[in-house]
Structures are given as structure tokens and as C-alpha cells.
């Protein structure tokens, strides 16, 4: 199965099918899928990834902040107001990173750091969980707390692009598999 076959299948989706299929590429932000749909046809999976990255970069800072605010806290809980907000994709990604089976100590530290981060920046800490484990996530959170708001907005959007790229690659593959 080639990249070309998967992309051809994506290009053949109706607009409705495309938006439904890609609606969770950017966490709880289906407008990204609608915009991406308008950019077809794609030449490769990387072309889809690059097109989405360009869309995210073109958003006004307030819209980029909204994209970040749509994410839940890492290892969030109902007490954090995250009940029912964790998408299946995020749950799978956080589980793979070990975030859904934290020790009591790590959970307490992550909760405290998440709170400090949101108080400082106004949006949740976003990191590509699939590329990290608990220790690196905690270290990254501590380090990024020292950033400026502008730097952190850029860092958060860069992480959204990583998450989205992984999800796009999976969707391109699975779209071909389902045809």
C-alpha cells in the first residue's frame, strides 16, 4: 500500500466524508478539517500535513489560543472540568505515554504544574504525548513554564502540528484500508 493510494482515497471523499474523517485531526476543532478539505487535491500525505500546518500558522493569535484552549489538561480529571472532553484520540495518545496510569505522586505534580501553566498562559499545556513519556512531559512542562506567553503560543501550536501530523498519517492509511 502506497502513500499515493491513501492520498488518492482521501481526495475521492465527498466534502462531508472528508470533514467527518478529519474532524479530530486538530483537537475538537472541525473548522480545520473544513479548511483542509478546500485545499484538495493533495499530492501526498506530507502535502496534507504541510497544508494543515500552514493553516494553523495563518490563524490570528486569538484563534491559535482557541485551538490550544480546546485541549484538555494532560491526565485531566472530572475535577478539572475535563469529564467527557477527552477525545478517543487523546485518550489513546495519553495512555501510550503513560499519562492515564500515573502514580499518585506524578499525578499530583502534573496537576499542580498544569494549574500553574494555565494560570500563567490562559490555555492548557499541549505536547505531543506520543513522542514523549511521563518524565519528559513533566520536564517539558517545568521548562516551558519559563517561556513568555508569545513563545508558549508558538510552542503549543508547534505541538498541535506534531499531533495533527501523526493523526493525518493514520487517517490517510486507514482511509485506503477502508476502501
Question: Which are the catalytic amino acids?
Answer: 71
**Number of neighbouring beta carbons within 10 Å of residue 176:** 18
Say if residues 90 and 72 touch (Cβ distance below 8 Å): yes
Sign of CA dihedral 108, 156, 36, 166: negative
The beta-carbon contacts of 38-41 under 8 Å, at least 24 apart in sequence, are 40/10, 40/11, 41/11
Placement of cell 505522586 in the chain: 105
Q: Reduced to 3 states, what is the DSSP secondary structure of residue 128? A: coil
Placement of cell 502534573 in the chain: 110
Buried b (16+ CB within 10 A) or exposed e, 92-105: ebbeebbbeebeee
CA torsion 68-94-77-84 (nearest 10°) is: 70
Amino acid at each position: 500500500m502506497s502513500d499515493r493510494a491513501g492520498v488518492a482515497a482521501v481526495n475521492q471523499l465527498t466534502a462531508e466524508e472528508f470533514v467527518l474523517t478529519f474532524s479530530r485531526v486538530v483537537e475538537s476543532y472541525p473548522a480545520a478539517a473544513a479548511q483542509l478539505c478546500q485545499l484538495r487535491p493533495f499530492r501526498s500525505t506530507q502535502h496534507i500535513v504541510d497544508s494543515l500546518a500552514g493553516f494553523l500558522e495563518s490563524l490570528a493569535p486569538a484563534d491559535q489560543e482557541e485551538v490550544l484552549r480546546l485541549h484538555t489538561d494532560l491526565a485531566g480529571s472530572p475535577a478539572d472540568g475535563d469529564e467527557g472532553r477527552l477525545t478517543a484520540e487523546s485518550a489513546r495518545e495519553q495512555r501510550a505515554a503513560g499519562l492515564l496510569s500515573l502514580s499518585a505522586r506524578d499525578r499530583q505534580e502534573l496537576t499542580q504544574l498544569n494549574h500553574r501553566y494555565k494560570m500563567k498562559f490562559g490555555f492548557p499545556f499541549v505536547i505531543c504525548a506520543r513522542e514523549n513519556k511521563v518524565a519528559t512531559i513533566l520536564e517539558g512542562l517545568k521548562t516551558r513554564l519559563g517561556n513568555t506567553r508569545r513563545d508558549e503560543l508558538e510552542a503549543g501550536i508547534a505541538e498541535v502540528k506534531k499531533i495533527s501530523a501523526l493523526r493525518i498519517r493514520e487517517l490517510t492509511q486507514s482511509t485506503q484500508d477502508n476502501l
